[in-house]
Structure 1
């Protein structure tokens, strides 16, 4: 028989409950939750998370998860961060047909075959297995050929561990490399182009998405707030400079000083 203390500890392991989700999001109905951040809570049990059927963005990093069973019902999930947990497999994610970005750095995935369950996710483009800045990795990353194995297993990926492997992003990277080389001392000048060409297609920098998405709308909202803050700071800086120039001008008060 296990000591009473151990049984109590097992019963009190942190888990996701409807009360936790409602307090974190303010949503009364679990299926209405679209974005959810539950990081660094020591969670060992996903509890009722599978009832959040509308969930599109989920952060479960920094917990104590060993399995992802309830996530199999989250068909709308597009972005998932389960880094820094204790996962040895990802099988439930095979049902997350809309998954686009997955971070599993800092888990216990031993071989590339543990990612076979992701092969049918055609929309999956971003995968992180290793994060040097956060000192997170997986056992499979110890093999120098793991990149090649992952690319063969998941050919639709465009970004692995933060580095682009295909698409226009890699072309842009090569363009920047060429530009850097041409600007180094001793580089031979290249002929000038007759007409400058845009790097991106028209409309690339349009702020608001054409399709409704909670993730994109939230990102755009935060971008607009940040942009407004920058504009406010710019106005404040311009006003301060104008006052300083006025105070330091010959026509100004000689006894005025600006510190």
Structure 2
């Protein structure tokens, strides 16, 4: 049974009929993966009845109220990018959440993220996506990176960049460089960028096992970047030492 045609600008509410027509499932509790993108959804309706949902993609809609998601205890992957979300409190109940994409919403401060800091399994967060040009107002804060990593000490990937495991070495080096250079006003901070990546591939939502692999080329590129960071840190230390030895100008 095909979903009924609707006008492109029509606001959509998730209903039992809509879910059944899209998934072909008679029982909402049988739905494990669900992709509802670009559908002008503004009301999550009965989405909370899909209590066994594990992966949910609601990107590119018009959603602002997340209350119906509070009952999705088994949810591990949630894509809410490109919506109108500013309040994340309902996600506090999604205790198994691991991967959360919030890029392209209205999250204005780190305070709005406090409700999800207790999610022990959360290890991947995206608040900005340079590939799709999505962001949040909070990302404009100069201390954004350090603040987020302090709030989520167990996070592994932030905005598509690894910040734990091997990547934690990179983060610590960058932080050390920034802290050192702040001692000299005349020296500009050094920023290390990593090529952005897509959040997940489209096939991620298909009903089949998925695996993540890391190629030798990617590993080699990372260690080259790590080497460059160490060289930058060493140069910064030399500049700081030389500057401290210089006599102060007499006023």
Q: Same fold (TM over 0.5)?
A: yes
| Residue in 2 that maps onto 1:24 | 22
| Other structure's SS at 1:54 match | coil
Q: State the distance in 1 between where 2:169 and 2:84 align.
A: 36
* Conserved? CA contact 1:31–1:54, under 8 Å: yes
What do you get for the CA RMSD once the two structures are aligned? Answer: 2.6
Matching residue within 151, 158, 161 for 1:160: 158
> What does the per-residue CA deviation read over 1:209-246, in whole Å, with 9 as the maximum and x for residues that have no partner?
xxxxx98972349x9xxxxxxxxxxxxxxxxxxxxxxx
Alignment of 1:1-259 (within 5 A): 13-168=11-166, 170=168, 218-220=208-210
**Structure 1: 4+ residue segments shifted above 6 A:** 214-217
| Residue in 1 that maps onto 2:194 | none
In structure 1, stretches of 5+ residues that fail to align are 1-11, 174-213, 224-259
State which structure, 1 or 2, has the greater radius of gyration over its C-alpha atoms. Answer: 1
* Conserved? CA contact 1:18–1:48, under 8 Å: yes
Post-superposition offset of 1:13: 2.9
* Conserved? CA contact 1:61–1:83, under 8 Å: yes
In structure 2, stretches of 5+ residues that fail to align are 1-9, 172-203, 214-251
Post-superposition offset of 1:155: 1.1
- The count of residues paired between Structure 1 and Structure 2 equals 173
Question: Normalization by structure 1: what TM-score?
Answer: 0.62
| Residue in 2 that maps onto 1:228 | none
Question: Normalization by structure 2: what TM-score?
Answer: 0.64
| Other structure's SS at 2:208 match | helix
